[in-house]
Chain A
Amino acid sequence: GQNIDQPTEMTATEGAIVQINCTYQTSGFNGLFWYQQHAGEAPTFLSYNVLDGLEEKGRFSSFLSRSKGYSYLLLKELQMKDSASYLCAVTDSNYQLIWGAGTKLIIKP
């Protein structure tokens, strides 16, 4: 079966750095997305990785290792507004998008 694993919940301190991991077992791979979802709101796009390596976008970076079936989202200089759920999603060889359950990130002052 197809599976995406993310930690259910993480806690971090304002101003710190946090890394949210995502491991996947899918039938093939055609890209990996990270979305952010604030409570009561819709998911919004953060990043897309299709090749191995690190993609940096401001305070957020996303890393991919296709051989390991692994990605992480790195958030630097955490702000209170970063409190949200972070969803990992993988496009498989049939171009189906498989969604993870999401990681709820709690930022404490």
Chain B
Amino acid sequence: QITLKESGPTLVKPTQTLTLTCTFSGFSLSTSAVGVGWIRQPPGEALEWLALIFWDDDKRYSPSLKNRLTITKDTSKNQVVLTMTNMDPVDSATYYCAHRLGGSSSGGTFDYWGQGTLVTVSS
């Protein structure tokens, strides 16, 4: 079955760069149409899509955060890495990675999610 798990620091200081790793199993990121996305959720707030990487290394970013985000994949390790630069306290949130189900490079749904990792930004 498909599983995903996020890992990374729980606390980062303002202006630092956050690096999160999503380690998954049950699917391959070298299979056509497969994608892995990152979504975050500040405490008590709504879900916000951040970035997504496709099997063919096509990368998509939220327009509002595009300048701060980088998403990469390591197919051999079954991992997807998200980096976010210049962290601010407003970036404190639970960060989720998720498997995207869909037949094209647009649309689709997130059918499997990791448990999430809470990141706090504070000095």
B and A form one assembly: no
